[in-house]
Chains A and B, each alone.
Chain A
């Protein structure tokens, strides 16, 4: 082997402090190298047999005698990473009503008042919706009931459940049901049904009573928290602990009190939280003044709370942050992680889809909200008037997919985090009237970049305690099972 005779395989990179570089290749393998080694690599001055040469070779950043098999390996890795694309839409959200007994000031769905029966889904639309869902080729079908408050239209939930289950006797898919509810309208009959049919429950929890009741207001003026709390206990007594998960909405109010919020989650027996920044849709857009905060403020709190969570885990309280977990899975593992809001091509329509109460089909909840405000740009079709091919094979969906491949988007194509990030064309359109969007002014881009910067800083620091906690989240195993021994302090 002569020196200098190697090919450089595709990668993206970023300069870090202290003359260090982060390099990431197409299949998400990463490496930290010194600026000197980086320059040597590019100038074909890296000597074969040096430690850096072997590191870069083993992770497929360069290849020489092994060029063919190296390409084969990268291709195999890339194929597995993108395998979420194989099955097409598996998440099907159904808005069974736009009515709600709450009027939260950050509501995306801009919910309707209780007496407006005309915003309930009827059986004709519901049946056609289920027929359409079963036209999807996906071996896994997850039907998620949304609103409004879906429990206000309980009869149609049962109808959809029974009809879907009936169709599945022949279709034989892995069929799952979820109800997204504020829990306040839960009756014994509903609990029986949920228990009997193993339906999952997703609820909303913003923190302790004061915080929860501040933004999540009931239309009738009573405290929503108390009812939520007692119903959650009732539900758990019947269906066990894992049957209910909670979503947190972060507003200006609880952003500074996240530690308190986490403590409350722990107290109520949840084992994880998803830290989402507030998105500019629906009521939230009108109320941004009172509710909103800058990306910088969010990320700074995120860093604090991540530190807090790591300490919590190390003290023996298992509690995960799901967004971090998702990113870490992409950074550390070779597996596919489809995640509708952060994938490439975007999950809009091809991974998840939403059916409005009136039968209109949209790629995402945000696209549906946009239609509510008069812009029907993303309307894929109507369950009563269009068949599966027209809804999912139309020019709109083709355009969404074509223009949401991160690998070729301006600003993303050369980004070091490309392999770990994703695309949100709907949000791009809302912000710039163009689904390609404009990265330099995009909060979505800024937030993910800052979070990934932070995670890579932690990875570079390589504190074994922190990395142990990360792996317990990634592999969903108890921390004690993977705790390192003091004996050794290398290897992330």
Chain B
């Protein structure tokens, strides 16, 4: 997410609007945020104005001034401006992807959580709804719903799913959930009552047993809840993706996890092995968690091949090609969000940079084995 900072003027509540860099007819300014280097008093009617100038003496209209890098804002971007002067880009105009951060709350306490849970600001739901309402209906190909844990705010989740179904009927929806609350069959039924045909439940599984999984999730019984949740979704005929995040705690048993998934949930549509993003909690517990993808490349190969032999659909997320055994390249996906994706200095001379998904720019550490390939 791109964040800019400036000085707010004349408003007390967050404002959400669509960026325009060219002056508009006054009658259609209400939903627009005017971004310009030249702001004068004729800009009434806009929801807000953003400028790099230093503005002092304008009595009416909301402003954020003294903002650097306003050129990163493009026509059609949907931005949130706060009374503190923060400018968050909620949706890029050029993106066919959109992510809804539905809550910051969570019922798990994972040791490697990249976004540690916190309480929700009271207006979070309003903001999400407003942003969605500004996106052109039908313009999205893919929508991610994430948190926090979306099922914690079950009613909002169901409302959001209803809204997405009617406004973006053709978009694929990924719901990132730990599946624990779905172990209650009635709750699971509520979520799937909205018949989103293109809804995929993405559920993390860190081990093939409760001892290791629960230790990572930080809640006793989490493993049993997640498995039961997966079974309930299957009974309800839903599509699922299982996500295995690889870390020091579980890399030795990756093949066992593959076998466990195949034996107990062969119905899942897709299995993703994921490199870690070392930020948030993960950065705090770096010593315990850190393992270089290069160190587990053999285990990863064995685990992926185990499932590939069995005809399952597999992907590898968040690991650059130079750290993967070459037969695994076909499974590697460009999975890191645009605003987090990064390439390191050595990558510039790499011959497969175009094909590579890069690394997390947000990670506190990077593998020392990232080196340019020449093919």
Distance between A106 CB and nearest chain B CB, rounded to angstroms: 38
Contact with B along A307-333 (1 / 0, CB 8 A): 000000000000000000000000011
Assuming the contacts A49-B211, A487-B298, A487-B301, asked whether A73 and B227 have C-beta atoms less than 8 A apart, the reply is yes
Assuming the contacts A477-B311, A487-B325, A488-B325, asked whether A69 and B302 have C-beta atoms less than 8 A apart, the reply is no
Distance between A320 CB and nearest chain B CB, rounded to angstroms: 15
Assuming the contacts A55-B256, A77-B263, asked whether A66 and B210 have C-beta atoms less than 8 A apart, the reply is yes
Q: Is the interface of B mostly helix, strand, loop or mixed?
A: helix
Assuming the contacts A54-B253, A54-B256, A333-B310, asked whether A68 and B224 have C-beta atoms less than 8 A apart, the reply is yes
A69 to B259, Cβ gap below 8 A? no
A488 to B298, Cβ gap below 8 A? yes
B209 to A57, Cβ gap below 8 A? yes
Q: Does B14 contact A (CB under 8 A)?
A: no
Give the tally of cross-chain contacts (CB within 8 A). 90
Q: Does A48 contact B (CB under 8 A)?
A: yes
A485 to B301, Cβ gap below 8 A? yes
Contact with A along B39-71 (1 / 0, CB 8 A): 000000000000000000000000000000000
On chain A, the residues within 8 Å of B262 by CB distance are 333-334
A58 to B209, Cβ gap below 8 A? yes
Q: Does B228 contact A (CB under 8 A)?
A: yes
Tell me the bound Cα distance from A1 to B215 in angstroms: 12
On chain A, the residues within 8 Å of B208 by CB distance are 54, 57-58
Number of interface residues of B (CB under 8 A): 34
Contact with B along A451-492 (1 / 0, CB 8 A): 000000000000000011001000101000010110110110
Q: Does A390 contact B (CB under 8 A)?
A: no
| Most chain A beta-carbon neighbours within 10 Å: one of B228, B253, B305, B311 | B305
Distance between A48 CB and nearest chain B CB, rounded to angstroms: 7
Q: Does A373 contact B (CB under 8 A)?
A: no
Query: Which residues 51-101 in A have Cβ within 8 Å of B in the complex?
Result: 54-55, 57-59, 65-66, 68-69, 72-73, 76-77
Q: Does B23 contact A (CB under 8 A)?
A: no
Tell me the bound Cα distance from A270 to B200 in angstroms: 41
Taking a contact as CB atoms closer than 8 A, the residue among B209, B227, B263, B298 that contacts A29 in the complex is: B263
15 contacts between A and B (CB under 8 A): A27-B263, A54-B253, A57-B208, A57-B209, A66-B224, A68-B224, A72-B227, A73-B227, A333-B262, A334-B263, A477-B311, A485-B326, A487-B325, A487-B327, A490-B302
Instruction: Write the residues of chain A forming the contact surface with B, with a CB cutoff of 8 angstroms.
Output: 1, 27, 29, 48-49, 54-55, 57-59, 65-66, 68-69, 72-73, 76-77, 332-335, 467-468, 471, 475, 477, 482, 484-485, 487-488, 490-491
Instruction: Write the residues of chain B forming the contact surface with A, with a CB cutoff of 8 angstroms.
Output: 208-212, 220, 223-224, 227-228, 231, 253, 255-256, 258-260, 262-264, 266, 298, 301-303, 305-306, 308-311, 325-327
Sample of 18 further A-B pairs with CB below 8 A, known A57-B209, A488-B302? A59-B263, A65-B210, A65-B211, A65-B220, A66-B223, A69-B223, A69-B228, A72-B227, A72-B228, A72-B231, A471-B310, A485-B301, A485-B305, A485-B325, A488-B298, A488-B301, A490-B302, A491-B305
